[in-house]
Amino acid sequence: MTDPILDIRGLEKTYKGGVTALDGVDLTIRRGEIFALLGPNGAGKTTLIGAVCGMVNPTGGRIEAFGLDIAKQWKSVRRRIGLVPQELSFDMFDKVHRQVRYSRGMFGCPPNEARIEEVLRSLSLWDKRNTEIRALSGGMKRRVMIAKALAHDPELLFLDEPTAGVDVELRRDMWRQIDMLRERGVTIVLTTHYIEEAEEMADRVGVINKGRILLVDGKDAIMAKLGRTEAHFTLDPPLDRLPAFTKNYPVHLEGGGTRLVYRGGDGTGKGKRDVAELAQAMTRANVGFVGLDTRESTLEDIFVDLLEHRKEAR
Ligand SMILES: Nc1ncnc2c1ncn2[C@@H]1O[C@H](COP(=O)(O)OP(=O)(O)OP(=O)(O)O)[C@@H](O)[C@H]1O
Q: Which of 16, 19, 194 to mutate to test the pocket of ligand 1 (most atoms within 8 A of CB)?
A: 19
Q: How far apart are CA 174 and CA 124, in angstroms?
A: 11
**222 touches 205 (CB < 8 A):** yes
Q: State which H helix or E strand residue 196 sits in.
A: helix 195-201
Q: How far apart are CA 143 and CA 122, in angstroms?
A: 10
Higher pLDDT, 277 or 40: 277
Q: How far apart are CA 55 and CA 145, in angstroms?
A: 17
Q: Whole-number mean pLDDT of the chain?
A: 89
Please give the share of the chain, as a percent, with pLDDT higher than 90: 59
Q: At what angle do helices 113-122 and 138-150 cross, to 10 degrees?
A: 140
Read off the DSSP letter of residue 132. B
Which of ligand 1's atoms lies nearest the C-alpha of 56?
1
Q: How far apart are CA 308 and CA 314, in angstroms?
A: 10
Give me the helices (H) in 62-167, please.
Answer: 74-78, 96-106, 113-122, 138-150
Question: 56-65, 121-130, 137-146, 165-174 — which is least confidently predicted?
Answer: 165-174
Task: For strands 34-38 and 204-209, give the pairing.
Answer: parallel
Give me the mean pLDDT over the 78-97 stretch.
89
Which of ligand 1's atoms lies nearest the C-alpha of 49?
18
Residues having CB closer than 6 A to ligand 1 are 15, 17, 19, 21, 39, 41-47
Distance 15 CA to ligand 1 centre (A): 9
Distance 113 CA to ligand 1 centre (A): 38
Q: How far apart are CA 129 and CA 126, in angstroms?
A: 5
SS (H, E, C) 24-68: EEEEEEECCCEEEEECCCCCCHHHHHHHHHCCCCCCEEEEEECCE
Distance 86 CA to ligand 1 centre (A): 12
**Total-model pTM:** 0.81
Quick: pLDDT tens for 28-82.
999 999 999 988 888 999 999 999 998 999 999 999 999 999 999 988 899 999 9
Domains in the chain, ordered, with CATH? 4-224 (3.40.50.300), 228-296 (3.30.70)
Residue 168 has pLDDT above 80, yes or no: no
Residue nearest to atom 28 of ligand 1 (CA): 42
